[in-house]
A and B are shown apart, each in its own frame.
Chain A
Amino acid sequence: MNTLLSAGLILLLGFAGARLLKYIRLPSVTAFLLIGILIGPHLLNLVTEEIFFASDFFSNLVLGVIAFSLGENFRLDELKRGMKQVMWISVTAAVGVWLLVSLAILAYFWIVRLPIYPALVLGAAASATAPAATVLIIREYRSNGILTEMLLKVVAIDDAWCLILGAMAIAVANALRADVFDTAIIFAGIGEIVGALILGAALGYAFSWLRRFVKSSEELLVFIFGFILLNVGLSITLKLSVLLSSMMMGIMVVNSARENYKFFEILRTVDSPLYLVFFILAGAHLDFGILIKMGVVGILYTFFRFVGKIYGAKIGARISGAPKIIENWIGMALTPQAGVALGIGLVAKTTFPEYGDYIFTIIAATTVLFELVGPLLTKISLIKAGEIAPSQ
């Protein structure tokens, strides 16, 4: 099987699968993941090695595209009123999960007399959400309303909180383990965020300035992809957060000129094959066998992450005086978990040689679960909030 044949099959099977599973009301994201599992190396093995190796490339590109599009939701002129709520909800949802998951797992480790520091890292990973899956659900069902708007903003910025929590957790865990508190880890975490924001802002500024040279709509696409790739490439090279820098670039672009709105529209017309491939490859990488290794810790993680999201977000919504609909449903809409959590798992793997593998396995296993179930829960909460027609 050659690369093009495999790529063609991925696109067409993804399309057909999403179509078929629509009949049982499964969202496309879930359909893509399932098709990915089906054609992945564990089952049909229709994905060539070349494409499989390109997964990394793809997922970075797609996360860049998603985060850039999320920037569109942060228009300063309409942001003033909602920003307080976004901040509160995103912070309490992230911190609530972190506290609950950390404490629950910590207690368990303490009872079974294991070292307790991995609990902190697991809690931090649990605080992350999955922008790509969330955006895709919203788009597929043309969800529209205050919950949708809030959700788009929260998934965009809570990655920043997750990164901070992750850095702190790893630093503290390291201190507990080796008795040295390495502030460098925290600084590195903050540097990753600040650096990403600076890079994204700078490129967003350059983007808006150079835009005047773009004449035709076909060129626009070349221009946008050039910038997104440049931003992602630089972020990776400089070890900055791809999600945050891309989002910052989007925010700069959307706020610098009204004509810039069209960039996001154009991107939307062409990006669906990218998402399809992204989720199919994510599915192909999902390792079902790992679910068995979840154990008590995995179950605690799953349960308390879910509870933490719902009540954490609720508290933030109540404090900031958000509408009742948001208070009730945003927590459940935030359940998908994906790459950001795995990223923390990966860092832990290298920082803690003894328990890193264990931490990573737990995060990977729960990600399998949350990736498959999360989009459904997001869809349900949007239906309950009345922002998706229930017939869908």
Chain B
Amino acid sequence: MHHPSSILGLAVLIIAGYAGAKILRKIHFPAVTSYLVIGIIIGPSLLNIIPHVVLGLSEVISHFVLGVIAFSLGESFGIRDLRASGSSVIWISLFEAACAWLIVTGIMIGYQVMSGLPVHPAFVMGAAASATAPAATVMVIREYRAQGPVTNMLLRVVAIDDAWCLILSAIAITFASGLSAGSMKISTILHMVIDLVLSFSFGAAAGLGLSYLSRMIHNREDFVTVTIGFIMLIVGISLKFNLSPLLTSMIAGICVTNVSRNSSLFFETIRGVDTVFFLIFFMLVGANLEIGILPRIGVMGMLYLIFRVIGKFIGVQIGALISHTEKTIRKYLAWGLIPQAGVALGVALSAKTMYPKYGGIIFTTITATTVVYELIGPLCVKFGLRRAGEI
């Protein structure tokens, strides 16, 4: 590891991102999109001025930042607020995830049959389509200081639909590998259930621990240390035991919100320091985006792109109608669900390892569409929230 270049590299990363976002703001780009674009430009695909050492940090930073974001999302799940709108969150998130899954799966099956390919990859792609991207959504909301019912609903929906996505993808992968090998491995689903239960209980335990500890902290500086330390610990342990860091961090955040008396301090503390991490995170995401893969997006990718969005819109409509939510939510929420990022890639990655035969094509499609969604998504979130009058 060569250190001088790593410090200078990090400095260039931060300054380029910061300055770039300032400039691109003039043409109404959200900061997330600017970071991604600049990341692509200075990343290995184009200028290649980010040192390898810094690129090597990508994984650690992205795990940490996703943990921070998921933890912060827990703040929107105060019991008191939830009583008012609890059921609608569940309905809407369930339907937007399930509809995207069903519609994408259906279209993919149709396409595969027509082109004479095996149908099973369709299930996995559908499952990946159910995921959204909490980080990008949160960033847009924060940058424009969005406020209102759609914003609140969006924060909750992006937080819990990852759980649905995990469930759906475990089912889909089991099903797909069953179809391809001729025998179902129920153990995959069982594993998923165990993982979910463990994630919930571990997250809850960590959240309670943190709430308890917070009573011993008297000054703001210690709050920064303990909160960051705890999130790192939660994510680190989750990774070690193959739990979902997103879920555990979020559950911990929810616990803190509802148990700790001075919970808002945690979230404020995080908000005070996380901008730097977010910037680095999105710059590195941009740098790691494989834009070279775009030409290989193919008909499958195009279908995926279009029908995932349609699925999200229909799902939100159904969920909102069932739970009788306000009209603005029904009309504009789906725009906020368009971003797609790491969770979908995670599904694709596990598909790749679990059944290598068709994993490759799934992975290419998901990666290519993620590039598109990452870049367009934040703009859609902004558009939707603006139309809803919350920006």
Q: Is B164 an interface residue (CB 8 A)?
A: no
- B229 x A15 contact (CB < 8 A): yes
In the complex formed, the residue of B with least CB distance to A216 is B275
A94-102, A220-228, A292-300, A327-335: which one contacts chain B? Answer: A220-228
* Contact with A2, one of B1, B239, B272 (Cβ below 8 angstroms): B239
Q: How far is the CB of A10 from chain B (nearest CB, A)?
A: 8
- B225 x A276 contact (CB < 8 A): yes
Q: Is A4 an interface residue (CB 8 A)?
A: yes
A8 to B231, CA, bound (A): 7
Q: How far is the CB of B129 from chain A (nearest CB, A)?
A: 29
Q: Is B63 an interface residue (CB 8 A)?
A: yes
- B229 x A8 contact (CB < 8 A): yes
Residue interface bits A47-64, CB-to-B below 8 A is 1, else 0: 000100110110011000
A127 to B268, CA, bound (A): 43
- B224 x A223 contact (CB < 8 A): no
Q: Is A257 an interface residue (CB 8 A)?
A: no
Q: How far is the CB of B283 from chain A (nearest CB, A)?
A: 11
Chain A residues lying within 8 Å of B10, measured Cβ to Cβ, are 229, 233
In the complex formed, the residue of B with least CB distance to A273 is B225
- A7 x B4 contact (CB < 8 A): no
Residue interface bits A224-244, CB-to-B below 8 A is 1, else 0: 011101101110110000000
Chain B residues lying within 8 Å of A270, measured Cβ to Cβ, are 224, 272-273
- B3 x A236 contact (CB < 8 A): yes
Q: Is A5 an interface residue (CB 8 A)?
A: yes
A323 to B172, CA, bound (A): 78
In the complex formed, the residue of B with least CB distance to A233 is B8
In the complex formed, the residue of B with least CB distance to A232 is B7
Which residues of B2-55 have CB atoms within 8 Å of chain A's CB atoms?
A: 3-12, 14-15, 18, 22
Which residues of A1-55 have CB atoms within 8 Å of chain B's CB atoms?
A: 1-12, 14-15, 19, 50, 53-54
Q: Is B276 an interface residue (CB 8 A)?
A: yes
A213 to B239, CA, bound (A): 40
- A237 x B232 contact (CB < 8 A): no
Number of interface residues of A (CB under 8 A): 45
Q: Is B326 an interface residue (CB 8 A)?
A: no
Q: How far is the CB of A219 from chain B (nearest CB, A)?
A: 7
Main secondary structure of the interface of B (DSSP, over half): helix
* Contact with A236, one of B7, B233, B273 (Cβ below 8 angstroms): B7
Q: Is A354 an interface residue (CB 8 A)?
A: no
A53 to B60, CA, bound (A): 15
Chain A residues lying within 8 Å of B224, measured Cβ to Cβ, are 269-270, 272-273
Chain A residues lying within 8 Å of B60, measured Cβ to Cβ, are 3-4, 50
- A11 x B11 contact (CB < 8 A): no
In the complex formed, the residue of B with least CB distance to A237 is B4
Chain A residues lying within 8 Å of B3, measured Cβ to Cβ, are 56-57, 60, 236
Chain A residues lying within 8 Å of B316, measured Cβ to Cβ, are none
Q: Is B358 an interface residue (CB 8 A)?
A: no
Q: Is B114 an interface residue (CB 8 A)?
A: no
Most buried by A among B7, B11, B233, B237: B7
A311 to B225, CA, bound (A): 39
Chain B residues lying within 8 Å of A272, measured Cβ to Cβ, are 221-222, 224-225
- B14 x A229 contact (CB < 8 A): yes
Given known A57-B3, A236-B3, contact A223–B8 (CB-CB < 8 A): no
A272 to B11, CA, bound (A): 20
Q: Is A218 an interface residue (CB 8 A)?
A: yes
- B229 x A2 contact (CB < 8 A): no
Residue interface bits B60-76, CB-to-A below 8 A is 1, else 0: 10011001000000000
Chain A residues lying within 8 Å of B15, measured Cβ to Cβ, are 226-227, 230
A119 to B388, CA, bound (A): 75
Q: How far is the CB of B1 from chain A (nearest CB, A)?
A: 5
Chain B residues lying within 8 Å of A269, measured Cβ to Cβ, are 220-221, 224, 272
- A5 x B225 contact (CB < 8 A): no
Chain A residues lying within 8 Å of B5, measured Cβ to Cβ, are 233, 237
Given known A5-B236, A226-B15, A229-B11, contact A15–B222 (CB-CB < 8 A): yes
Number of interface residues of B (CB under 8 A): 44
- B275 x A218 contact (CB < 8 A): yes
A226 to B225, CA, bound (A): 21
A166 to B275, CA, bound (A): 41
A8 to B68, CA, bound (A): 13
A6 to B239, CA, bound (A): 12
A232 to B12, CA, bound (A): 12
Q: Is B235 an interface residue (CB 8 A)?
A: yes
A8 to B232, CA, bound (A): 5
In the complex formed, the residue of A with least CB distance to B16 is A226
- B226 x A15 contact (CB < 8 A): yes
* Contact with B233, one of A8, A50, A57, A232 (Cβ below 8 angstroms): A8
Q: How far is the CB of A355 from chain B (nearest CB, A)?
A: 27
Q: How far is the CB of A262 from chain B (nearest CB, A)?
A: 14
- A233 x B7 contact (CB < 8 A): yes
In the complex formed, the residue of B with least CB distance to A55 is B3
Q: How far is the CB of B160 from chain A (nearest CB, A)?
A: 23
* Contact with B18, one of A11, A226, A234, A273 (Cβ below 8 angstroms): A226
A219 to B22, CA, bound (A): 11
In the complex formed, the residue of A with least CB distance to B14 is A226
A242 to B225, CA, bound (A): 25
Residue interface bits B250-287, CB-to-A below 8 A is 1, else 0: 00000000000000000000011101100100000000
In the complex formed, the residue of B with least CB distance to A7 is B232
In the complex formed, the residue of B with least CB distance to A139 is B221
A227 to B233, CA, bound (A): 29
* Contact with A61, one of B7, B220, B225 (Cβ below 8 angstroms): B7
Given known A2-B240, A219-B275, A221-B275, contact A12–B11 (CB-CB < 8 A): no
Chain A residues lying within 8 Å of B9, measured Cβ to Cβ, are 233
Residue interface bits A244-286, CB-to-B below 8 A is 1, else 0: 0000000000000000000000001110110010000000000
- Inter-chain pairs besides A11-B225, A11-B228, A272-B222, 12 sampled, C-beta below 8 Å: A3-B60, A7-B236, A8-B233, A10-B229, A50-B60, A230-B11, A233-B9, A233-B11, A236-B8, A269-B224, A269-B272, A273-B229
**Can you offer 15 A-B residue contacts whose CB atoms are under 8 A?**
A4-B236, A11-B225, A11-B226, A12-B226, A15-B229, A57-B6, A60-B7, A227-B15, A229-B7, A237-B5, A269-B220, A270-B224, A272-B224, A273-B225, A276-B225
Interface residues of chain B, those whose CB is within 8 Å of chain A, are: 1, 3-12, 14-15, 18, 22, 60, 63-64, 67, 216, 220-222, 224-226, 228-237, 239-240, 271-273, 275-276, 279
Interface residues of chain A, those whose CB is within 8 Å of chain B, are: 1-12, 14-15, 19, 50, 53-54, 56-57, 60-61, 213, 217-219, 221-223, 225-227, 229-230, 232-234, 236-237, 268-270, 272-273, 276
The 10 closest A-B CB pairs, nearest first, are: A5-B236, A11-B229, A233-B8, A8-B233, A8-B232, A229-B11, A4-B236, A230-B11, A272-B221, A233-B7
